[in-house]
Amino acid sequence: MNRYPLWKYLLIVILLAIGLIYALPNLYGKSPALQISATRGGEISELTEFQVTSALDEAGIEYNEPELSPENITIRFKNEETQLKAQSAVAESLGRGYVVALNLAAATPAWLQELNAEPMFLGLDLRGGVHFLMEVDMDAAVTKAEERYISDLRTDLREKKIRYRTITRHDTGGLLIRFQSYAQRDQGKSLIEENFADLVVSVPDDQTEAHLIAAMSEQVVLETQRLALQQNITTLRKRVNELGVAEPVIQQQGLNRVVVQLPGVQDTARAKEILGATATLEFRLVDEKNNVQDAVDGRVPAGSKLYYQRTGLPVLLQKQVMLTGESIINAASGIDSQTGGPNVSITLDGGGAKRMSHATRDNVGKRLAVVFIENNVELKEENGEMVESRETIEEVISVATIQEQLGKRFQITGLDSTSEARNLALLLRAGALAAPIYIVEERTVGPSLGQDNIEMGFQSVIIGFALVLLFMAIYYKVFGLVANIALTLNLVLLVALLSLLQATLTLPGIAGIVLTVGMAVDANVLIFERIREELRNGNSPQASIHSGYEKAFSTIADANITTLIAALVLFSFGTGPIKGFAVTLSIGIISSMFTSIMVTRAIINFSLGGKRLGKLYI
């Protein structure tokens, strides 16, 4: 009685050892660091590292040995004050083309890093940083969707040889389609109803002109807005992650707002630049009919627009966009096998592949231009005040003759360098914002406040933990000491699981840990009280231990399952802070079930099982 097989002891020891290993990185903490990444036109190399170290040496700033990788350079510092000074010096030295991000780099030993053991992320309330509340322009999302319908309608009407005059957006919403005759209008109505199920077609009461109004249904409008919000969230997350801001929190709030939290970042202007800079492509045909020099002299044709190539040469393009970057689902940089120059391989979605196929089929032999568009937000000083300035860069990166009909995959060439190709692929993978997004609220949390929160949260855990240990040791004697060991191991497992999941620890999360300490010891209280009851009923010590664990299990399971259900509901319906509390509480409940039942039973079975006991110290 009260014996475990050897495999069960080994399993428990292995699980606890793994937990201890993955909890260890949190003891080493993180060092203030700078992470330098290249943007368009920049390149990470040994020369970049030399520039950075030279700037730091000139400024008299102490730093650790830089860590160079193909993607970025990481430099660690002793404290946040030195880190901030270093950022200014490095940013001024490198200039544009680089993002110098404030970061916290893990000080984990190499052998733990090889096991992918990393410390927990710390939230904005613990580390400090910047918080933005951003609002998505839902009307603009609907407008962009209607513009895509205009392009598709033109293509289909031309293919069916249905003559129309114009397709424009209607003042009250929807698309106004003017036909050359009533017969053409009826044919067009049948085509739209057959091929465009998302559009609701109506004939205006005014019959003096052959025209239709095609509007998106209410359900489609809501779905378009929802997808625009989700795409913006995905785009922001990719941009922030790939450009070197660690541990961001980007999540939806309400129907049209996004919360962006960047822990560790104190430079609000730089954060705005990272969030505001997006890039996309437009594919346009070159205007072969008109003279580009006339456009340079100010006589731009009505259906065309003047652009400039990177070499400075002007090029006249048609205003009608053949395809935009929204249709790009993947982009990868590489080397062109024919020219040996850098290229970017593009993969389109189904709709984009269809439009590209149709457009290039009808224009073989003509020139196609690729227009790179990047939007940057900067703060400039004007009359002693910092004013937000939005800059849009539009330049032609490639002009090539269409040799054949293109499909889902093709390549862009004409790039300056492999670094340029990598960065363009990065920006295209991150995608363009589906709709404009505006900052409606911003605030900065200082690192000193975050440190105070960490200290107070840590003290609350330690005090609560110590009081529980003291009570259990006094009230349940030897068995209380066993419960204390299990409680300590539960805390280790909880930290290990949070580190493995790379969860973000916040103040509400610390509250969840404190609650877990109480919940974990509650199971042992139930078991020990049941053992006491069995002893009072005259059972032997070994039988009392066995009955105590067996009979208390169902009560413990019921209590923990109901708490877990409540935590899952909090996670499903709560916002950021509530989710943080729910995550730590859920993980704590699961780990406490293991330590309070299996681990304590294993210790008691190993030390007392199979022995003739005269008395239990409980």
User: Which of the listed ranges 222-226, 280-284, 425-429 does the model predict with the highest average pLDDT?
Assistant: 222-226
Of 11, 103, 88, 9, the closest CA to residue 52 belongs to 88
Alpha carbon distance 515, 513 (integer Å):
5
Percentage of residues in the chain having pLDDT higher than 90: 2
Whole-Å CA distances, 428 to 101, 251, 281, 327, 373: 21, 22, 8, 10, 11
Alpha carbon distance 553, 182 (integer Å):
79
Of 549, 529, 544, the closest CA to residue 598 belongs to 549
* 566-582 average pLDDT score: 80
Residue type, 273: E
Residue 616: which residues within 8 A CB-CB, separation 6 or more? 478, 479, 531, 535, 541, 544, 545
Say yes or no to pLDDT of 458 above 80: no
| CATH of the structural domain 30-107, one choice from 3.30.70.20, 3.40.50.620, 3.30.70.260, 3.40.50.300 | 3.30.70.260
Alpha carbon distance 233, 231 (integer Å):
5
Q: Does domain 139-218 have CATH number 3.30.1330?
A: no
User: Which of the listed ranges 16-25, 70-79, 113-122, 581-590 does the model predict with the highest average pLDDT?
Assistant: 16-25
Say yes or no to pLDDT of 279 above 70: no
Are 156 and 191 contacting, i.e. CB atoms less than 8 angstroms apart?
yes
| CATH of the structural domain 6-23+446-608, one choice from 1.10.10.10, 1.20.1640.10, 2.20.25.650, 3.30.420.110 | 1.20.1640.10
Alpha carbon distance 172, 204 (integer Å):
13
Q: Which pLDDT band, with edges at 50, 70 and 90, does 381 fall under?
A: low
pLDDT digits (tens, 9 = 90+) for 251-278: 888 888 888 887 766 556 656 666 755 5
Helices and strands: H and E segment counts in the chain: 18, 23
Say yes or no to pLDDT of 377 above 60: no
Q: Which pLDDT band, with edges at 50, 70 and 90, does 144 fall under?
A: confident
Query: What class is the 277-444 domain?
Result: alpha beta
* DSSP three-state, residue 285: strand
How far is residue 118 CA from its own chain's centroid?
18
Tokens 């359900």 map to which residue? Answer: 219
Tokens 């200082």 map to which residue? Answer: 446
Q: Which pLDDT band, with edges at 50, 70 and 90, does 316 fall under?
A: very high
Are 361 and 285 contacting, i.e. CB atoms less than 8 angstroms apart?
no
DSSP-derived secondary structure letter, 209 = S
pLDDT digits (tens, 9 = 90+) for 81-137: 888 788 888 888 887 667 777 777 777 888 888 888 888 877 777 777 788 888 888
* 530-558 average pLDDT score: 85
DSSP-derived secondary structure letter, 326 = G
DSSP 76-97: E-SSHHHHHHHHHHHHHHH-TT
Q: Which pLDDT band, with edges at 50, 70 and 90, does 21 fall under?
A: very high
User: E-strand spans in 296-384?
Assistant: 304-308, 314-318, 323-324, 328-335, 342-348, 367-382
* 326-332 average pLDDT score: 75
Lowest mean pLDDT: which of 176-180, 237-241, 299-303, 542-546? 237-241
Residue 545: which residues within 8 A CB-CB, separation 6 or more? 2, 531, 604, 608, 616
Say yes or no to pLDDT of 215 above 60: yes
Extract the tokens encoding 529: 């009280």
Higher pLDDT among residues 519 and 226, named by residue: 226
Are 526 and 547 contacting, i.e. CB atoms less than 8 angstroms apart?
no
Q: Which pLDDT band, with edges at 50, 70 and 90, does 515 fall under?
A: confident
pLDDT at 17: 92
Of 410, 443, 412, the closest CA to residue 427 belongs to 412
pLDDT at 18: 92
Q: Which pLDDT band, with edges at 50, 70 and 90, does 156 fall under?
A: confident
For the chain, the domains span 6-23+446-608, 30-107, 139-218, 277-444
pLDDT at 368: 85
Q: Whole-model pTM?
A: 0.58
Say yes or no to pLDDT of 527 above 80: yes
Alpha carbon distance 79, 336 (integer Å):
46
Domains 6-23+446-608 and 30-107 share a fold: no
How far is residue 448 CA from its own chain's centroid?
26
If you average pLDDT over every residue of the chain, what do you get? 80
Pairing state between β 175-179 and 211-216:
antiparallel
Say yes or no to pLDDT of 601 above 80: yes
